[in-house]
Structure 1
Amino acid sequence: MLDKPEGPTSHDVVSRCRWLCATRKVGHAGTLDPMATGVLLVGVGRATRLLTHLVGADKTYSATIRLGEGTTTEDAQGEFTATPGVPDREVLLAGGPALQDAVASLTGEVQQVPSAVSALKVDGKRAHAKVRDGEEFELAPRPVTVYSFEVLDRRPSTGASGTETLDLDVRVRVSSGTYVRALARDLGRALGSEGHLVALRREAVGGFTLDLAAPLQELVEVREGGGLPAHLPVVPMGEVARRVLPVGRLDDAAVARVRNGMQVTPAAEPAWEGDPSRALTVDQAGRAALLDEAGELVAVATRAGERWQPTTVFPPATGAGS
């Protein structure tokens, strides 16, 4: 679990981790743009098979939104498309209701037009590639959920275009697939202006928070000094699953059957951690993590009537990088 610095792409981080761990079997759960920092979940060895079950977790970000300027990329790295400034900037600074109303309109279940520089495909081509090549296109809105949208601070600023702008420090918790840069764009437009991101930091992915993450550069320095793998910030797969899925324990006989791809029958129903009903209500995809009595992850399974069907099975650990 890493704290990604500003600059490298998520793929760059994966490449560094391959060097750090001396294996090519490395992947990540959820891309962070080069300008963004914060939590990046990286799987190594067997754990790469768990990543697909982490991508859909809710995410929490802190960000700085600049109102009064729009850019081609909806962040500070793009070219200016409009610099209208901020109508009633002093009123917004004083805490007028217009800002509260605009934030409220973007909170909850909303239809969001994805960022134009996303990795979504349009006619077989990535949207960001179309932007780079100067092609015009439209993306259809998609349903997303903004669970919370807090304005932490606001202050006057002068944008890179010389326009009088307004900076907002915000914190949002959103569903997977939500574009925070699109929230910045839409907030600006809701206030009769434009908006873009000037800073973005991912504070959490599901139950994984920044306080658990290790700065990438620190790991690189340890590796260059002959350290690792002991210094790697490794979270056991059973604990990873516990933070994003309901968890049930299996006895040894059930573990053997599941590792052979067999279903868990009502007679071998897992012993659920916490409220037993949690297994049916927490994960919207109907998934649960099945652990053995020692707490090792055996499988991720999906509810099938009264049974659990293993969808991703994990063999027993055989050593580092397995």
Structure 2
Amino acid sequence: MGRTRKGRAISGFLIVDKPAGITSTSVVNKVRWAMQAQKAGHAGTLDPAATGLLAVALGEATKVLPYVTEALKAYEFTVRWGQETTTDDAEGAVTRTSDLRPTDAEIEAALPEFRGDILQVPPAFSAVKVDGERAYDLARDGETVELSARPLYVDRLALTARPDPDHAVLQMVCGKGGYVRSIARDLGRSLSCLGHVTQLRRIWSGPFALHGAVTWAEIEANGQGASLDARLLPLETALVGLPECRIPEASVALLRNGGPAPVFPADGLDWGDEAWASRDGRAIAVGVYEGGHLRPTRVFAA
């Protein structure tokens, strides 16, 4: 007999405006505790020093986290010129300095190199695994961490403000696995002036935006109660990028039992496309379209 999960069987997304100094895991654990949820996860880790949007999934919404993780995300960040650090942000020790400071025109001229499909070496202090261990654990132990370059798609990288010669504010829209700290480090090297991130904020992620996000203070003030329930977004929000197939009532049980079922296909849907099935606006399953039927790969509980 399976073990019964403790907590409420509550599903959906709570969008949190994460403050600096708290890990993403701590936010998830706090939300799960505050909402007494059986299960929780998040889409895309933010560094402890970073702030901004963290999409916390509860219950059945954890099954659609990959669609948020794979989506584009937008960041606003400040680069401090003239210093390179061990962590590529202000948390680390300064390792190299430069008296050079780039002009706005020089920054603008360097940015195209970091747009489109690029290769990026993650920071030494990152969650990337090396022989089964996290890179940041090895770096903290004083080991030299050699990480391989990884592909990254950068949809947009733009200079948005120049508060003073030492700093520049940029916005970046990128795909999965992007490290803003690496962009700052490599941009500083490209400009021969060195650089690191001093401030980083995620402003949107896939279908989720900061407008209406729950603050850390609100979560703490909630205690263990249901007052945050009204702030939950449905799990269907994460599926906006997939075609939606409506289904007859008879298909609901078939899909929930893991078998293929007839669907009313969305316009333009081809054999082998991924889609989601809905009944009265609720997601029943995600699956592969096969000529009038959907073969489920993820099934959602009633």
How far 1:230 sits from its partner (Å)? 5.1
Distance 2:172 2:300 in 1: 34
How far 1:287 sits from its partner (Å)? 3.0
Distance 1:179 1:280, change over 3 A: farther
**Is structure 2 residue 180 aligned with structure 1 residue 193?**
no
Which residues of structure 2 form unaligned runs of 5+?
A: 1-14
Query: Which range moved further: 227-236 or 11-20?
Result: 227-236
**Is structure 2 residue 252 aligned with structure 1 residue 255?**
yes
Distance 1:19 1:269, change over 3 A: closer
Which residues of structure 1 form unaligned runs of 5+?
A: 158-165, 317-322
Distance 2:203 2:24 in 1: 16
How far 1:232 sits from its partner (Å)? 4.5
Per-residue CA distance 1:145-196 (angstroms, 9 max, x = gap): 0000010011325xxxxxxxx2111111000111111111111011012111
2:232 aligns with 234
Q: 1:108 aligns with which of 111, 116, 134?
A: 116
SS in 2 for 1:309: strand
2:10 aligns with none
Distance 1:134 1:304, change over 3 A: farther
Matched-pair identity in %? 37
SS in 2 for 1:218: helix
1:167 aligns with 167
Distance 2:69 2:227 in 1: 25
How far 1:245 sits from its partner (Å)? 2.9
How far 1:304 sits from its partner (Å)? 5.7
Distance 2:238 2:227 in 1: 19
Distance 1:133 1:291 in 2: 51
**Is structure 2 residue 277 aligned with structure 1 residue 290?**
yes
SS in 1 for 2:182: helix
SS in 2 for 1:54: helix
For 2:300, the aligned partner's letter is F
**Structure 1 consecutive aligned stretches of length 4 or more whose deviation exceeds 6 Å:** none
How far 1:57 sits from its partner (Å)? 1.4
Q: 2:135 aligns with which of 115, 127, 137?
A: 127
Distance 2:126 2:147 in 1: 10
**Is structure 2 residue 62 aligned with structure 1 residue 48?**
yes
Give the CA RMSD over aligned residues.
Answer: 2.2
Distance 1:110 1:79 in 2: 27
Query: Do the aligned residues in 1 keep the contact of 2:185 with 2:194 (CA within 8 Å)?
Result: yes
Query: Do the aligned residues in 2 keep the contact of 1:66 with 1:198 (CA within 8 Å)?
Result: yes
Query: Do the aligned residues in 2 keep the contact of 1:219 with 1:231 (CA within 8 Å)?
Result: no
How far 1:307 sits from its partner (Å)? 5.1
Distance 2:99 2:288 in 1: 51
1:11 aligns with 25
Q: Within 5 Å, which residues of 2 pair with 1:1-322?
A: 1-87=15-101, 89=102, 92=103, 95-96=104-105, 98-156=106-164, 166-221=166-221, 223-224=222-223, 228-229=226-227, 231-242=229-240, 244-264=241-261, 268-272=262-266, 276-277=267-268, 279=269, 286-292=273-279, 294-303=280-289, 308-316=294-302
Aligned positions, number: 288
